[in-house]
């Protein structure tokens, strides 16, 4: 989910960039040089899962998985998503450099919220596959619904009534993405819990 | 190689940011139209001889303009009264010009810049070193992990797997995600061990110092200055007597 460069107005871009700067500053306090290769690899994974497409009718949707990133990384999601989005802007013109703050905020803030709310349960119930699946689905829900809500808020703040139709369309278009992301995240969290339970405490 | 490709990547990134910020702050359709004209002329001059780069720029423009079509359909028409919404039309026109200007500018100015260059350039412009190092590491690891994913894709196709809208496809996608994460973590552990074995203390960020600003060739500064003046001229065009 990217907001193209040139769409948002200057006050919205500045406000989003300010919040993102705070998020990145908090995330960077947890990042040490030893953790750099792991954090970069998580960013690469996030980058690559965006290329996994699920066909729906004549079109397809791609995975976002910001909820899963939040579960795995907590506040580190801010710097990790920032660099992944910067590279996507460079290589594919997805988003852009002045919209980078806005795009990072809409992906990373719900991810951090999902992490903060659900990570304590992950540690406690990491042996139960059903609970892990529930946590995964909830994380994806917070991630996608949060990102859609923030994108809608930014578009509304830019265009008010003029962009209300676009905001409604955006919210409707994200419904299949949410359902697919929730199922894939639920299954992935359950598989990760079985294969490598320590992964949920990567940054601690 | 064209002139735009010669400057230091910091100046190219700075020029891209200057254009993006100028476009974001500009409301006048005349100014935005002038910027688009300049961007189109620059693209034609620099990229027309190279078919591959034109194809890449066309792909990028197609992607953003599909989104803009949706903006026009939802913002410029009042569907309840079946009439034209003037405020929405103006907003859609401004967005269309801005998005195309910025996409063209980024495509021609940052052509040939890779993730490592971007990390160094961003640090040179004031981004924290940790973030630059993370970006550079991401660029390195991405190519390796992409190869792993490509191998997985081939193996899945060899087993006659075809993605369709079914629970099986979702299961396979989840397996791939989990596998990529586990593989990435195992690789990160091996990487850390390898770096420690080579005596890397991991107390500082692995980032090379950029060339000092004063050491940059005058030609780089001239090109950067010309871009800034050109954009400035486009921004002040309406106040020079041209009204919307």
Q: DSSP readout, chain B?
A: --GGGSS-HHHHHHHHHHHHHHHHH---HHHHHHHHHHHHHHHHHHHTT-HHHHHHHHHHHHHHHHHHHHHHHHHSEETTTTEE-HHHHHHHHHHHHHHHHHHHHHHHHSTT--HHHHHHHHHHTT--HHHHHHHHHHHHHHHHHHHHHHHHHHHHHHTT----SSHHHHHHHHHHHHHHHHHHHHHHHHHHHHHHHTT---SS---PPPPPGGGS-HHHHHHHHHHHHHHHHHHHGGGGT---
Identify the band that residue A50 occupies on the pLDDT scale cut at 50, 70 and 90: confident
Paired tokens of A191: 């598989």
Q: What percent of chain A clears pLDDT 90, i.e. is strictly above it?
A: 43
With beta carbons under 8 A apart, name residues in chain B contacting A28: 128, 130-131
Give the number of residues written for chain B. Answer: 244
A1 falls within a domain: no
A76 falls within a domain: yes
Q: Could you tell me if A36 lies within 8 Å of chain B, comparing CB atoms?
A: yes
Identify the band that residue A23 occupies on the pLDDT scale cut at 50, 70 and 90: very high
DSSP state of A202: T
pLDDT value at position A101?
93
pLDDT value at position A138?
96
Of the listed ranges A138-152, A154-168, B95-109, the least confidently predicted one is A154-168
pLDDT value at position B208?
66
Mutation test of the interface with chain B: which of A63, A82, A98, choosing the one with the most B Cβ atoms within 10 A? Answer: A98
B20-39 pLDDT tens trace: 889 988 888 999 999 999 99
Contact B75, A162 (CB under 8 A): yes
B132-177 pLDDT tens trace: 888 888 888 888 888 888 888 898 888 888 888 888 889 998 998 9
Q: Give the predicted TM-score (pTM) of the model.
A: 0.86
Q: Are β-strands A59-62 and B77-78 bridged in parallel, bridged antiparallel, or unpaired?
A: unpaired
Q: Could you tell me if A202 lies within 8 Å of chain B, comparing CB atoms?
A: yes
With beta carbons under 8 A apart, name residues in chain A contacting B122: 86
Alpha carbon distance A130, A1 (integer Å) = 29
Alpha carbon distance B27, B17 (integer Å) = 17
pLDDT value at position B4?
47
For B134, name the nearest residue in chain A, comparing CA atoms only. A40
Closest CA to A68 of A148, A151, A144, A177: A144
Q: ipTM, 2 decimals?
A: 0.86
pLDDT value at position B188?
79
Q: Could you tell me if A159 lies within 8 Å of chain B, comparing CB atoms?
A: yes
A3 falls within a domain: no
pLDDT value at position A110?
96
Alpha carbon distance B40, B97 (integer Å) = 11
- Please give the residue that has the higher pLDDT: either B242 or B46: B46
| A 91-110 → B contacts, CB under 8 A | 91-93, 96-98
Contact A43, B134 (CB under 8 A): yes
**Does residue B244 surpass a pLDDT of 60?**
no
Beta strand spans in chain B (E): 77-78, 83-84
Identify the band that residue B1 occupies on the pLDDT scale cut at 50, 70 and 90: very low
Q: What does the mean pLDDT of chain A come to?
A: 87
| A 182-201 → B contacts, CB under 8 A | 183-188, 191-192, 195-196, 199
Q: Chain A to chain B, count of Cβ pairs less than 8 Å apart?
A: 227
For A13, name the nearest residue in chain B, comparing CA atoms only. B24
Mutation test of the interface with chain A: which of B138, B146, B156, B166, choosing the one with the most A Cβ atoms within 10 A? Answer: B138
Alpha carbon distance A79, A163 (integer Å) = 30
With beta carbons under 8 A apart, name residues in chain B contacting A24: 128, 131
Phi/psi region, residue B236 (left: phi>0; alpha: psi -120 to 50; beta: rest), is alpha
For B90, name the nearest residue in chain A, comparing CA atoms only. A162
A165 falls within a domain: yes
Angle, alpha carbons A103-A122-B188 (nearest 5°) = 65
B105-119 pLDDT tens trace: 988 888 888 888 888
Alpha carbon distance B73, B91 (integer Å) = 12
- Burial zone of B124 (CB within 10 Å; 0-12 exposed, 13-18 middle, 19+ buried): buried
With beta carbons under 8 A apart, name residues in chain A contacting B99: 4-7
CB contact (8 A) between residue B170 and residue A180: yes
Mutation test of the interface with chain A: which of B13, B29, B142, B171, choosing the one with the most A Cβ atoms within 10 A? Answer: B142
A173-190 pLDDT tens trace: 888 889 999 999 999 999
From residue B94, alpha-carbon distances to B61, B121, B144 in Å are 16, 30, 41
Query: How many CB atoms within 10 Å of residue B211?
Result: 12
Distance from CA of B190 to the nearest CA of A (A): 10
Calculate mean pLDDT across residues A106-134: 88
Calculate mean pLDDT across residues A107-117: 95
A180 lies in which domain range?
Answer: 10-201
Distance from CA of B32 to the nearest CA of A (A): 11
From residue A43, alpha-carbon distances to A2, A78, B32, B47, B226 in Å are 16, 10, 35, 32, 36
Q: Could you tell me if A53 lies within 8 Å of chain B, comparing CB atoms?
A: yes
pLDDT value at position A34?
78
B180-228 pLDDT tens trace: 888 888 887 887 787 777 776 655 666 666 677 777 888 888 888 888 9
- Structural domains in chain A (count): 1
Alpha carbon distance B37, B24 (integer Å) = 17
Among positive and negative, which fits the CA dihedral B135, B137, B142, B143?
A: positive
* From B131, B169, B184, residue closest to A42, measured CB to CB: B184
CATH number of domain containing A184 = 1.10.1760.20
Contact B118, A90 (CB under 8 A): yes
Per the DSSP assignment, residues forming a β-bridge with B84 are B77
With beta carbons under 8 A apart, name residues in chain B contacting A183: 167, 170, 174
A171 falls within a domain: yes
CB contact (8 A) between residue A45 and residue B180: yes
Paired tokens of A25: 């500053």
For A57, name the nearest residue in chain B, comparing CA atoms only. B165
A192 falls within a domain: yes
A54 falls within a domain: yes
CB contact (8 A) between residue A6 and residue B24: yes
Q: Could you tell me if A152 lies within 8 Å of chain B, comparing CB atoms?
A: no
CB contact (8 A) between residue B170 and residue A192: no
pLDDT value at position B3?
47
| Span between the terminal Cα atoms of chain A, in Å | 29
B71-130 pLDDT tens trace: 898 888 887 778 888 888 998 899 899 999 999 998 888 888 888 888 888 888 888 888
From residue A176, alpha-carbon distances to A2, A164, A185 in Å are 17, 20, 14
Alpha carbon distance A139, A65 (integer Å) = 9
Q: Could you tell me if A166 lies within 8 Å of chain B, comparing CB atoms?
A: yes
Paired tokens of B89: 């039309």
Distance from CA of A141 to the nearest CA of B (A): 16
A4 falls within a domain: no
pLDDT value at position B203?
58
From residue A87, alpha-carbon distances to A178, B88, B184 in Å are 24, 32, 18
């Amino acid at each position: 989910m990217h907001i193209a460069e040139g769409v948002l107005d200057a006050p919205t871009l500045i406000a989003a960039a300010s919040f993102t700067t705070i998020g990145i500053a908090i995330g960077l306090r947890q990042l040490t040089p030893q953790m750099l290769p792991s954090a970069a690899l998580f960013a690469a994974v996030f980058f690559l899962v965006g290329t996994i497409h699920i066909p729906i009718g004549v079109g397809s949707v791609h995975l976002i998985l910001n909820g899963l990133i939040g579960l795995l990384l907590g506040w580190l999601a801010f710097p990790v998503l920032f660099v992944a989005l910067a590279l996507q802007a460079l290589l594919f013109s997805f988003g852009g450099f002045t919209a980078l703050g806005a795009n990072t905020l809409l992906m990373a803030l719900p991810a951090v919220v999902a992490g903060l709310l659900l990570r304590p349960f992950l540690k406690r119930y990491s042996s139960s596959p059903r609970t892990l699946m529930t946590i995964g689905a909830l994380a994806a829900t917070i991630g996608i619904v949060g990102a859609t809500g923030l994108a809608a808020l930014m578009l509304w703040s830019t265009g008010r009534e003029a962009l209300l139709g676009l905001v409604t369309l955006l919210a409707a278009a994200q419904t299949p993405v949410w359902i697919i992301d929730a199922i894939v995240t639920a299954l992935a969290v359950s598989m990760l819990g079985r294969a490598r339970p320590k992964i949920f405490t990567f940054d601690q | 190689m064209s002139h735009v490709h010669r400057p230091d990547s910091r100046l190219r990134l700075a020029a891209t940011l200057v254009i993006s910020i100028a476009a974001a702050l500009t409301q006048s359709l005349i100014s935005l139209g002038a910027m688009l004209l300049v961007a189109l002329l620059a693209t034609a001059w620099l990229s027309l001889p190279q078919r591959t780069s034109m194809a890449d720029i066309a792909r990028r423009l197609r992607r953003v303009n599909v989104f803009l079509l949706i903006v026009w359909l939802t913002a410029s028409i009042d569907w309840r009264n079946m009439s034209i919404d003037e405020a929405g039309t103006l907003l859609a026109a401004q967005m269309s010009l801005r998005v195309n200007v910025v996409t063209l500018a980024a495509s021609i100015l940052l052509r040939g810049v890779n993730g490592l260059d971007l990390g160094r350039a961003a640090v040179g412009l004031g981004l924290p070193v940790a973030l630059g190092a993370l970006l550079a590491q991401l660029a390195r690891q991405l190519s390796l992990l992409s190869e792993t994913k490509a191998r997985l894709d081939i193996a899945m196709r060899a087993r006659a797997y075809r993605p369709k809208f079914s629970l099986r496809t979702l299961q396979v996608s989840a397996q791939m995600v989990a596998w990529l994460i586990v593989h990435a973590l195992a690789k990160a552990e091996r990487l850390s061990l390898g770096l420690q074995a080579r005596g890397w203390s991991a107390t500082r960020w692995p980032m090379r110092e950029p060339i000092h600003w004063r050491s940059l060739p005058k030609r780089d500064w001239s090109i950067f200055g010309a871009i800034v003046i050109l954009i400035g001229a486009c921004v002040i065009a309406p106040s020079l007597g041209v009204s919307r």
